[in-house]
Amino acid sequence: MKKLFYLLFFFFILVFQVSAQSFHLIIVSDTQDATIGESCKTNSKKIAKEFHQVACLLEIPLITYLLEEENASITKIKETLRTIKMNQNDICIFYYSGHGVSDAASQYPKILLNGQTLPLSFIHSSLKQKNNRLAISMADCCNALGALSAVTTFKSEDSLLKSIYFENKLATEKEKKENYKNLFLKTKGNIVMSGSIKGQSSYMQDKHGGFFTDSFISSFYYLARSTKQNQINWKNLLFMTREMTYRNSRAAERTQIAQFLISLN
């Protein structure tokens, strides 16, 4: 009887350790900037809403670190990265919306806040060192020197997404939950992405936000609601995000090409 008790106790602890996890979402948004502040607000709201839905459907606690207005600073970012606590089953997403400049040491940009910079590569490396299940770093910012990113026009080119992901019906809530599981719970590793390649600007519009962010959210929306199970993976999601970012920028007579690096087990 005592052996059975210890066996059940050990099984309970093992199940708890495997299932216990949190979703950490770090949002840094330069909402006070005179040129792109409104666009940044739109971006951060979209990102917060989308990942809140993911956490709710997967029944995972969501811990949000929102750095906006006076809290949007390099000092606050470093402090958050230093103090954040995670375990091996946790998911962590870092998202930045604001100005950026190119980084001589990396193809990914440096974020630019109040005249100070911090490489996205440094942020991503810091997240990976936390030994979590999934670490994702995203930056919707310019990847060039002295470039402006505010535009007045926006035309979403999402007809391609509909034709690829949808057949005759949307995924049910149960199917959508499985799609989320494929992306977040059955995946381990890290992903880094930015809105533009080196030498390019990243464009934004007040109502719709950044071309890159809007393209990511749209691609994520359609992928999560697709009934085509063989397409539910990060590679497809980010290839479509890049394609849609390019299409949306060309519709506004600009050129913007998103980039990403996927390192998953």
- The answer to the question of residue 4 being in a domain is no
- The answer to the question of residue 148 being in a domain is yes
Q: Place 13 in a pLDDT band, splitting at 50, 70 and 90.
A: very low
- The answer to the question of residue 241 being in a domain is yes
- The answer to the question of residue 80 being in a domain is yes
Q: Which helix (H) or strand (E) holds 97?
A: strand 91-97
Residue-range definition of the domain harbouring residue 32: 22-188+198-255
- The answer to the question of residue 31 being in a domain is yes
- The answer to the question of residue 183 being in a domain is yes
Which CATH number characterizes residue 36's domain? 3.40.50
pLDDT tens sequence across 14-71: 333 344 599 999 999 999 999 999 999 999 999 999 999 999 999 999 999 999 999 9
Instruction: Say how far apart CA 120 and CA 139 lie, in whole Å.
Output: 7
- The answer to the question of residue 261 being in a domain is no
Q: What is the pTM of this model?
A: 0.90
Distances (CA, A) of 79 to 26, 82, 90, 244: 12, 5, 19, 34
- The answer to the question of residue 264 being in a domain is no
Q: What single letter denotes the amino acid at residue 71?
A: N
What is the number of structural domains in the chain? 1
pLDDT tens sequence across 222-250: 889 888 877 889 999 999 999 999 999 99
- Residue 178, classified by CB atoms within 10 Å of its CB into exposed (0-12), middle (13-18) or buried (19+), is middle
